[in-house]
Amino acid sequence: MKDKIAEKLLLFIAFSAIGSLLLITFFIFQQGIPLIFKIGLSNFFSMHWSPTRGQFGILSMIIGSLMVTVGALIVGIPFGLACAIYLAEFSSKMVQKTLKPIIELLAGIPSVVYGFIGIVILVPFIRTHFGGPGFSVLASSIILGIMILPTIVSISYDSLVAVPNTYREGSYALGATKWQTVVKLLIPAARSGIVAGIILGMGRAIGETMAVIMVAGNALKIPHSILDSVRTLTSTIALELGYATGDHRAALFACGAFLFIIITILNIIAIRVTGHRE
Partner 1 sequence: MTFRIGPRTSQIIAYIILLLMTIITIIVLFFIIGYVFKNGFAQLSLEFLTDRTREMGKEGGILPSIIGTLFVTVLAVIIATPLGVGSAVYLVEYTRGGLLRRIISFGADCLAGVPSIIFGLFGFIFFVIQLKLGWSILSGSLTLAVMIIPTIIRTSEEAIKAVPLSYREISYSLGGGKLDTIWKVVLPTSLPGILTGVILGIGRAIGETAAVIFTAGSSLGMPTSVFSSTRTLAVHFYILAREGISMEKAYGTATVLIIIILFVNFVAYRLMHRFMERYY
Partner 2 sequence: MRYLAIVCMLLLTTCSQRKGGIIIAGSTSVQPFIERVAERFTEENPGIQVNVQGGGSTAGIQATFNNICHIGVSSRNLKGSEKALHEFLIAVDGIAIIVHKDNPIDDLTIEQIQGIFAGTHKDWSELGGESGEIIPVTREEGSGTRGAFEDMVMGDQIISDACLVQDSNGAVREIIATTPQGIGYISVGLVDEREKALAIDGVKPTLANLLSSQYGFTRPFLLLLLEEPSGKVKKFIEFALSKKGQDILKSDGLISVTEIGK
User: Looking at beta carbons, which pairs linking 108-112 to residues 24 or more positions away fall under 8 Å?
Assistant: 111/147, 111/208, 111/209, 111/210, 111/211, 112/210, 112/211, 112/214
| Shortest reach from residue 39's CB to partner 2, in Å | 16
Please name every residue paired with 277 in a beta bridge, in sequence order, or none if there are none. Answer: none
| Shortest reach from residue 246's CB to partner 2, in Å | 10
| Shortest reach from residue 92's CB to partner 2, in Å | 44
The CA distance from 25 to 228, in Å, is: 34
Among the listed ranges 12-20, 129-137, 155-163, 188-196, the one in contact with partner 1 (CB under 8 A) is: 12-20
- Compare residues 123 and 262 and give the one whose CB is closer to partner 2: 123
Please name every residue paired with 200 in a beta bridge, in sequence order, or none if there are none. Answer: none
Per-residue x/- marks for partner 1, 114-143, CB under 8 A? xxxx-xxx----------------------
31 belongs to the binding site for partner 1 (CB under 8 A): yes
65 belongs to the binding site for partner 2 (CB under 8 A): no
| Shortest reach from residue 108's CB to partner 2, in Å | 25
Binder among 28, 44, 58, 60 for partner 2 (CB under 8 A): 60
Footprint of partner 1 on 182-201 (CB under 8 A): 182, 200
| Shortest reach from residue 210's CB to partner 1, in Å | 4
Among the listed ranges 17-25, 47-55, 64-72, 86-94, the one in contact with partner 2 (CB under 8 A) is: 47-55
- Compare residues 66 and 238 and give the one whose CB is closer to partner 1: 238
| Shortest reach from residue 231's CB to partner 2, in Å | 7
226 belongs to the binding site for partner 2 (CB under 8 A): no
Applying CB under 8 A, the residues found at the interface with partner 2 are 48-52, 60, 123-124, 127, 131-135, 213, 217-221, 229, 231, 238-240, 242-245, 248
